[in-house]
Amino acid sequence: MSKDRLDVIRKTIPPHVELIAVSKTKSNAEILEIYNAGQRHFGENKVQEMVDKYEALPKDIHWHLIGHLQTNKVKYIAEFVHLIHAIDSLKLLAEINKQAQKHERVIPCLLQFHIAKEDTKFGLSWSEAKEMLDSEDFKNLKHIRIDGIMGMATFTNDLDQVRSEFKSLKNYFDRLKTAYFTHPSFNTISMGMSGDYQLAIEEGSTMVRVGSSIFGNR
Ligand SMILES: *Cc1c(COP(=O)(O)O)cnc(C)c1O
- For residues 14-18, average pLDDT: 97
| pTM greater than 0.85 | yes
Q: Is the CB of 141 under 6 A from ligand 1?
A: no
Gap from CA of 27 to ligand 1 centroid (Å): 16
Strands 62-65 and 107-113: unpaired
Ligand 1: centre distance to CA 121 (Å): 13
**Cα 42 to middle of ligand 1, angstroms:** 11
Q: How would residue 121 be classed by pLDDT, with cut points 50, 70 and 90?
A: low
Query: Which residues is 107 bridged to in the sheet?
Result: 144
93: CB partners within 8 A, 6+ apart: 87, 109, 132, 138, 141, 144
**Cβ 19 under 6 angstroms from ligand 1:** no
Residue 134 C-alpha to ligand 1 middle, in angstroms? Answer: 31
Asked whether 81 and 108 are in contact (CB, 8 A), the reply is no
Residue 146 has pLDDT above 90, yes or no: yes
Q: For residue 67, is pLDDT > 80?
A: yes
Q: What is the model's pLDDT at position 120? A: 65
